[in-house]
């Protein structure tokens, strides 16, 4: 189609996906997210934008319709760049401009991007689309597809997939299959084969040890684990709870609920000491937990996962005699005990970045092996090309002695089980299960590697959360005036205490984090810091109440 006619078509189609006048949304920590009723125009426009991005990069781009851990009524959209990573920041800016342009200015906003990025409109474009199980996701993903078609792109609709599965498809497609086959079956085969090979190194694993309870958050993860189950054969026996047949998505279940509330999800049958895990609503996060004989709940969050994985990798590197630099990337939410253990006992490099996987991912790319996890369980491992080559070479070298060869093969299968494009609950689960089996480690032993400092996360409602500006990987507030000083004074009252506040990028709240020697101190400090935020940063509604 000729360019002018193309724009006419965009205009015509756009009028079928009109923007409510005055509505302003931001591309936040992980894409746009709000009540599903407000998103039709955003989806259509993200279809347009993904097509432009595809033309620009001459590669396939992904669009995932999901609001992850948010309530069922919400929805959202995430854009995926050619290597399967999150879309680059400059284009997040375009996304915001395009989504917020009033109906009559939409075409101008679109042309603006085309001009700024000197996009050749006759270039072919391909967009992969996926969605989660929310009621609103089907029609919203149709709006994305309409957007792609309107500007002359080709699309492939993967239907119901987890977010990390779609990231994987995009990476496979753009690497001509080197990363794997761009199908859901290809994904299951690659991961399950690597898992079976790893599990072969744990011949003494009993049936009890092979059992795992999975809380699927009543979302897409439950469906996808079920599809994969038979391929894991006898090496892993999974009981799936909250599979979406009865309960509501993310409601009193799922990784976010378990992490923030520090308690088990509803809808799960847990025996004492049994290993359990929870996914979030789009299956890119995972946390583990168990209940001990005194009914005490034990959470193994992203920090514990990062510690387990990096310990395993470090041991294998030593056994293989490979000199590769390994680092762990965390955010300010990482428990102080985990950072202390990683730095001082394990002696690995630790980096702290701003919240949001894109920041962690970027930092992890600077090392031979970068293990990154947010405390909430979102994370993965990145291997540099050079690291992968060294592992490959050693595994294939006929002169390698047995111990080194075994370690190299384990490393090779570890590379294959990991979804390096983004945090992936299914892939992380399989890796963790394999590590525990190989090391002959129980969930209790894993938990005992270090003891978490008691901590608390709270939310405070303010008029405009943008009044809070932070620095030092969000650990210190620069504005409003007096806030950081107030926090510093409060923190000094408690032993081993730490606290910071930051505006959320996914919800209209300010988040408060505290940790201290005791839970009482962490809770009291959290309340006091919440009050400081409320008073100094324009709190709305009732004053924050004490937790006890």
Ligand X SMILES: CC(=O)N[C@H]1[C@@H](OP(=O)(O)O)O[C@H](CO)[C@@H](O)[C@@H]1O
Report how many residues bind ligand X under the rule CB under 6 A. 15
**Binding range to ligand X, per CB under 6 A, among 9-17, 186-194, 236-244, 500-508:** 500-508
DSSP conformational letter for 467: G
Q: Residue 505's binding partner, choosing from Mg ion, ligand X, none, with beta-carbon cut-off 5 to 8 A by kind?
A: ligand X
* Binding residue for Mg ion, selected from 74, 132, 282, 452, defined by CB under 5 A: 282
Give the one residue of 13, 51, 60, 68 binding ligand X; rule: CB under 6 A.
68
Torsion of CA 160, 165, 168, 173, to 10 degrees: -20
Partner whose binding site includes residue 504, from ligand X, Mg ion, none (CB under 5 to 8 Å by kind): ligand X
| 264 marked ligand binding residue | no
If binding is defined by CB under 6 A, does position 507 make contact with ligand X? yes
Binding pattern for the stretch 237-276 against Mg ion, x by CB under 5 A and - elsewhere: ----------------------------------------
SS3 510: strand
Options 68, 155, 427, 530, the catalytic residue: 68
Which of Mg ion, ligand X, none does residue 511 bind to, with CB < 5 to 8 Å depending on kind?
ligand X
Cα 408 to Cα 79: distance, rounded to the nearest angstrom: 35
**Residue 39: both structure tokens together:** 């998103």
Nearer to ligand X, 28 or 539 (CB): 28
Establish whether 68 is a catalytic residue.
yes
Q: State in angstroms the smallest separation of the CB of 130 from Mg ion.
A: 13
Examine residue 303 and tell whether it contacts Mg ion (CB under 5 A): no
Report residue 384 as tokens: 């540099």
Terminal C-alpha separation, the chain: 66
DSSP string, 190-247: HHHHHHHHHHTT-TT--TTTTEEEEE-TTSHHHHHHHHHGGGGGGG-EEEEE--SSSS
428 binds, among ligand X, Mg ion, none (CB under 5 to 8 A by kind): none
Q: How far is the CB of 247 from Mg ion (least distance, A)?
A: 18
535 known member of a binding site = no
Contact flag: residue 284 with Mg ion (CB under 5 A): yes
Binding site partner of 9, from ligand X, Mg ion, none, Cβ cut-off 5-8 A by kind: none
Question: What whole-number distance in Å separates Cα of residue 37 and Cα of residue 211?
Answer: 41
The residue with tokens 């990987």 is: 473
Residue 34 touches which member of Mg ion, ligand X, none, C-beta under 5-8 Å by kind: none
Cβ-contact 79, 49 below 8 angstroms? yes
Candidates 181-189, 475-483, 486-494, 502-510; binding stretch for ligand X (CB under 6 A): 502-510
Nearer to ligand X, 134 or 511 (CB): 511
Nearest alpha-carbon partner for 515 in 502, 526, 528: 526
Which one of 14-22, 64-72, 326-334, 459-467 is the stretch in contact with Mg ion (CB under 5 A)?
Answer: 64-72
Task: Cite the beta strand spans of 445-495 per DSSP E.
Answer: 455-460, 469-471, 476-479
The answer to whether 235 and 206 are in contact (CB under 8 A) is no
Whether 340 contacts 348, CB under 8 Å: no
In sequence order, the 6+-apart residues with CB closer than 8 A to the CB of 174 are 59, 60, 82, 83, 84
Answer yes or no whether residue 378 interacts with ligand X by CB under 6 A: yes
CB of 273 to ligand X, least distance (A): 28
Q: From the list ligand X, Mg ion, none, pick the one residue 355 interacts with, judged by a Cβ distance below 5 to 8 Å according to partner type.
A: ligand X
Q: Which residues pair with 372 in a beta bridge?
A: 329, 380
* Interaction mask 323-362, ligand X, x per CB under 6 A: ----------x---------------------xxx-----
Buried b (16+ CB within 10 A) or exposed e, 411-442: bbbbbbbbbbbbbbbbbbbbbbbbbbbbbebe
Which residues lie across from 31 on neighbouring strands?
28, 29
Min. distance of Cβ 276 from Mg ion in angstroms? 19
Running DSSP on this structure, what letter comes out for residue 104? G
Q: Is 505 annotated as a binding-site member? A: yes
Residue 130 near residue 159 (C-beta atoms within 8 A) = yes
- From residue 337 to residue 376, the character string flagging contacts with Mg ion as x (rule: CB under 5 A) and all else as - is ----------------------------------------
Angle, helices 385-396/402-417, rounded to nearest 10 degrees: 140
Task: Sort strands 469-471 and 379-383 into parallel, antiparallel or unpaired.
Answer: unpaired
Q: List the helix and strand counts (H, then E) for the chain.
A: 18, 19
Whichever of 413 and 506 has its CB closer to ligand X, that residue is 506
Q: Which partner in Mg ion, ligand X, none is near 333 (CB below 5 to 8 A by kind)? A: ligand X
- Mask for 262-301, x = binds ligand X (CB under 6 A): ----------------------------------------
* CA 450 – CA 334 distance, rounded (Å): 13
170 binds, among ligand X, Mg ion, none (CB under 5 to 8 A by kind): none
231 class by beta-carbon count within 10 Å (0-12 exposed, 13-18 middle, 19+ buried): middle
Q: How far is the CB of 500 from ligand X (least distance, A)?
A: 11
Supply the minimum distance, in Å, between the C-beta of residue 277 and ligand X: 17
In the three-class reduction of DSSP (H, G, I as helix; E, B as strand; rest coil), residue 344 is classed as helix
Q: Say whether 503 counts as a known binding-site residue.
A: yes
Residue in 243, 374, 447, 452 binding ligand X, rule: CB under 6 A: 374
Residues comprising the binding site for substrate? 374-376, 502-506, 511
Residues comprising the binding site? 68, 280, 282, 284, 374-376, 502-506, 511
Active site residues: 68
- Contacts with ligand X by CB under 6 A lie at 29-30, 68, 333, 355-357, 374, 376, 378, 504-507, 511
- Contacts with Mg ion by CB under 5 A lie at 68, 280, 282, 284
């Amino acid at each position: 189609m000729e360019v002018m006619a193309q724009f006419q078509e965009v205009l015509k189609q756009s009028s079928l996906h009109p923007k409510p006048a005055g509505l302003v949304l931001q591309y936040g920590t992980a894409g746009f997210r709000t009540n599903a009723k407000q998103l039709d125009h955003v989806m259509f426009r993200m279809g347009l934008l993904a097509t432009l991005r595809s033309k620009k990069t001459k590669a396939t781009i992904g669009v995932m319709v999901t609001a992850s851990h948010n309530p069922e009524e919400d929805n959202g959209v995430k854009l995926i760049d050619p290597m399967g990573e999150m879309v680059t920041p400059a284009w997040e800016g375009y996304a915001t401009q395009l989504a917020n342009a009033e109906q009559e200015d939409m075409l101008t906003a679109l042309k603006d991007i085309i001009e700024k990025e000197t996009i050749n409109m006759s270039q072919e474009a391909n967009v992969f689309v996926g969605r989660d199980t929310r009621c609103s996701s089907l029609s919203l993903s149709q709006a994305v597809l309409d957007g792609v078609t309107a500007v002359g792109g080709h699309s492939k609709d993967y239907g119901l997939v987890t977010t990390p599965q779609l990231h994987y498809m995009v990476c496979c497609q753009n690497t001509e299959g080197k990363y794997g086959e761009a199908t859901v079956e290809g994904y299951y085969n690659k991961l399950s084969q690597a898992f079976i090979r790893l599990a072969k190194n744990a011949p003494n694993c009993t049936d009890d040890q092979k059992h795992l309870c999975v809380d699927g958050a009543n979302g897409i993860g439950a469906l996808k684990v079920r599809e994969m189950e038979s391929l894991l054969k006898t090496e892993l026996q999974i009981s799936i709870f909250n599979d979406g047949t009865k309960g509501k998505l993310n409601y009193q279940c799922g990784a976010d609920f378990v992490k923030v509330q520090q308690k088990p999800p509803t809808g799960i049958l847990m025996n004492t000491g049994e290993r359990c895990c929870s996914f979030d609503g789009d299956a890119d996060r995972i946390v583990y937990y168990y209940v001990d004989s005194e009914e005490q709940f034990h959470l193994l969050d992203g920090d514990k996962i990062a510690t387990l994985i990096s310990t395993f990798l470090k041991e294998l590197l030593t056994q293989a005699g490979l000199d590769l630099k390994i680092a762990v990337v965390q955010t300010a939410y990482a428990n102080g005990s985990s950072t202390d253990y990683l730095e001082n006992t394990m002696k690995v490099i630790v980096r702290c970045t701003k919240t949001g996987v894109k920041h962690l991912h970027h930092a992890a790319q600077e090392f031979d092996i970068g293990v990154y996890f947010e405390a909430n369980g979102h994370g993965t491992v990145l291997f540099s090309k050079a690291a992968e080559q060294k592992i490959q070479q050693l595994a294939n070298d006929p002169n390698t002695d047995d111990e080194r060869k075994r370690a190299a093969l384990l490393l090779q299968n570890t590379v294959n089980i990991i979804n390096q494009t983004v945090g992936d609950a299914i892939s992380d689960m399989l890796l963790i299960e394999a590590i525990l089996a190989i090391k002959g480690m129980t969930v209790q032993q894993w938990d005992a590697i270090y003891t978490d400092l008691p901590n608390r996360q709270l939310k405070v409602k303010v008029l405009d959360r943008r009044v809070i500006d932070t620095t030092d990987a969000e650990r210190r507030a620069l504005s409003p005036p007096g806030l950081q000083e107030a926090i510093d004074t409060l923190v000094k009252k408690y032993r081993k205490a730490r606290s910071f506040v930051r505006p959320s990028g996914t919800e209209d709240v300010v988040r408060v984090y505290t940790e201290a020697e005791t839970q009482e101190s962490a809770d009291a400090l959290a309340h006091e810091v919440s009050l400081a935020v409320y008073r100094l940063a324009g709190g709305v509604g009732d004053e924050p109440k004490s937790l006890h």
